[in-house]
C-alpha cells in the first residue's frame, strides 16, 4: 500500500477516520499535509472543485470521501469490514447517522480552551481567520444538521449514552471493528483526544473503546511533498475501468459531481465509469494530464453539463 498517498491535515476529524483505518490495516502510506481551509492549489489540480479533506491518490487515480478511501484501503489490506456497503443494514445506518447527523455536534462540543490553543499552535493568525470564515460559510449552505453551541453538548451526551449501551463487546458490532467504529471514532476523537475534554468520562465502556481504537495508531506514514504528488499523477495513467462499469448510459458525457450535504462545490469532467458504489470522473489538467476522480454514489449528486 506504499503507493497510497493521503492528502490531509492533522486536526481534521475525517482525516483521522482514515488514518485510524490505515493504523488498523498496519499500512504504509505517503502523507501530504495541506492547509486547514482552501485554497489548496495541489488538490485543486487533482480533484477539481472538490474542497473537502481527506483525499487519497494512487498514481493518476484520485479518491474523494472517506467511504471511497476506505474501499481502497480494504482492497489493499484485505479488510472487507472497512467497506461501508459490506455491513448489515443496522451498522450502515449507524455509520451514516454519526458521519452525517452528529459530526457538527461533536465539532462544536469539542470547542474548549485546549482545542483553541492547539489550533493557534497549528495555524497562523491569518490561517485561523480564514478557517473560521470558511466554516461560517459552509454552515450557511449545508443541508446536514448544524447545531448551535448550546445544543451540541446534550446531543453528544445522548450519543455517548447510545455508544455506551451498544458496546456489549469490544467493538460496536462485534469482536472486531468495522466501518461504523471508525465513523463513530473520529468525532469523539476530536472531543476526547484532541480537545482533551472530560465530557465523555462518565461513560467507562466508551472511554475504553476510544483507547482501544486509538491504539491502532495511524499506520506507517512517510512525508511526501505536495508537488511530488502532482509528479506521481503526471507520470501515471489512470487504472483501467472494467467493461461492466462502462455500460451506464451517461458514460462519455460531460457531467458535474458534488456533495449533497456541505461544501457542495462541483467537480467537472467526463463520466468514465459507474460501479454500484461510485462514480468515476475523467478530468484533464495541463499540469498532470488525465486523472480519474472517484466519488461515492451515495451522498453525491451527478448532473449533466448544459450545452
pLDDT digits over 47-62, tens only?
999 999 999 999 999 9
Q: Which of 169, 197, 214 is the last residue of a domain?
A: 214
**Residues 144-175: tens digit of each pLDDT:** 667 777 899 999 999 999 999 999 999 999 99
Same-domain pairing of 151 and 205:
yes
Nearest to 27 by CA among 60, 64, 69, 63: 69
The answer on 240 and 205 residing in a single domain is no
| Prediction pTM value | 0.93
Q: Are residues 96 and 206 in the same domain?
A: yes
73's enclosing H/E stretch is helix 66-77
Beta bridge partners of 171: 174
251 grid coordinates: 458514460
User: What is the layout of strands, in order, in the sheet containing 61-64?
Assistant: 220-223, 28-33, 5-8, 55-58, 61-64, 289-296, 278-285, 267-274, 254-259, 300-304
Indicate if 97 and 152 belong to the same structural domain.
yes
Q: How far is the C-alpha of 131 from the C-alpha of 111, rounded, in Å?
A: 14
Residue 27: CATH number of its domain: 3.40.30.110
- Specify whether 257 is located in the same domain as 185: no
21 and 64 within one domain: yes
In degrees and rounded to multiples of 5, residue 284 shows phi and psi of -115, 135
pLDDT band at 126, cuts 50/70/90?
low
Residue 78 CB neighbours (<10 A): 7
Cβ atoms of residues 72 and 22 within 8 Å:
no
Expressed as residue numbers, the domain containing 143 is 88-214
CA distance 298 to 44: 23
267 and 176 in a common domain: no
Between vectors from CA 196 to CA 100 and to CA 155, what angle results, nearest 5°? 35
Q: Which of 214, 244, 270 is the last residue of a domain?
A: 214
Q: How many CB atoms lie within 10 A of CB 9?
A: 17
CATH assignment at residue 170: 1.20.1050.10
What average pLDDT does the segment 276-294 reach? 97
The C-alpha cell 506504499 sits at 2
Same domain, 94 and 194: yes
What interhelical angle do 179-189 and 204-214 show, nearest 10? 100
Query: Is residue 29 domain-shared with residue 144, that is, in the same domain?
Result: no
Domain boundary, last residue among 214, 231, 248 = 214
Predicted local distance difference test score (pLDDT) of residue 262: 72
* Calpha distance 305→272 (Å, rounded): 14
Average pLDDT, the chain: 92
One domain for residues 24 and 47: yes
Residues belonging to the chain: 307
Domain count of the fold of the chain: 2
pLDDT band of 38, cuts 50, 70, 90: confident
Three-state SS for 152? helix
* Residue reference for cell 469523539: 188
Confidence of residue 141 (pLDDT cuts 50, 70, 90): low
Strand-pair partners of 121: none
Q: Are residues 153 and 192 in the same domain?
A: yes
How confident is the model at residue 164, as a pLDDT? 98
Beta bridge partners of 65: none
What percent of the chain stands above pLDDT 70? Answer: 92
The Cα 259–Cα 303 span in angstroms is 12
Residues 75 and 114 both lie in one domain:
no
Question: What's the CA gap between 173 and 87, in Å, rounded?
Answer: 10
Amino acid at each position: 500500500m506504499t503507493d497510497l498517498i493521503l492528502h490531509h491535515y492533522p486536526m481534521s476529524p475525517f482525516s483521522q477516520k482514515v488514518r485510524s483505518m490505515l493504523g488498523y490495516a498496519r499500512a504504509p502510506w505517503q502523507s501530504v499535509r495541506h492547509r486547514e481551509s482552501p485554497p489548496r492549489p495541489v488538490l485543486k489540480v487533482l480533484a477539481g472543485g472538490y474542497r473537502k479533506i481527506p483525499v487519497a491518490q494512487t498514481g493518476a487515480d484520485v479518491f474523494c470521501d472517506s467511504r471511497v478511501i476506505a474501499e481502497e484501503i480494504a482492497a489493499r489490506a484485505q479488510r472487507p469490514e472497512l467497506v461501508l456497503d459490506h455491513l448489515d443494514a443496522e451498522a450502515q445506518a449507524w455509520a451514516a447517522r454519526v458521519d452525517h447527523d452528529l459530526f457538527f455536534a461533536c465539532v462544536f462540543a469539542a470547542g474548549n480552551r485546549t482545542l483553541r490553543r492547539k489550533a493557534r499552535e497549528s495555524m497562523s493568525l491569518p490561517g485561523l481567520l480564514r478557517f473560521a470564515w470558511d466554516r461560517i460559510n459552509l454552515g450557511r449552505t449545508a443541508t446536514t444538521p448544524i447545531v448551535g453551541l448550546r445544543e451540541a453538548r446534550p446531543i453528544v451526551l445522548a450519543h455517548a449514552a447510545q455508544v455506551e449501551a451498544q458496546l456489549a463487546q469490544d467493538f460496536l458490532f462485534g469482536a472486531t471493528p468495522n466501518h461504523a467504529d471508525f465513523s463513530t471514532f473520529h468525532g469523539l476523537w476530536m472531543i476526547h483526544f484532541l480537545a482533551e475534554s472530560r465530557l465523555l468520562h462518565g461513560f467507562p465502556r466508551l472511554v475504553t473503546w476510544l483507547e482501544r481504537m486509538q491504539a491502532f495508531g495511524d499506520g506507517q506514514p512517510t512525508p511526501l511533498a505536495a508537488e511530488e504528488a502532482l509528479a506521481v499523477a503526471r507520470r501515471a495513467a489512470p487504472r483501467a475501468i472494467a467493461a461492466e462499469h462502462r455500460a451506464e448510459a451517461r458514460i462519455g458525457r460531460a457531467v458535474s459531481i458534488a456533495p449533497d450535504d456541505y461544501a457542495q462545490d462541483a467537480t467537472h469532467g467526463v463520466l468514465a465509469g459507474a460501479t454500484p458504489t461510485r462514480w468515476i470522473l475523467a478530468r484533464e489538467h495541463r499540469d498532470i494530464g488525465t486523472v480519474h476522480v472517484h466519488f461515492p454514489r451515495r451522498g453525491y449528486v451527478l448532473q449533466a453539463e448544459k450545452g
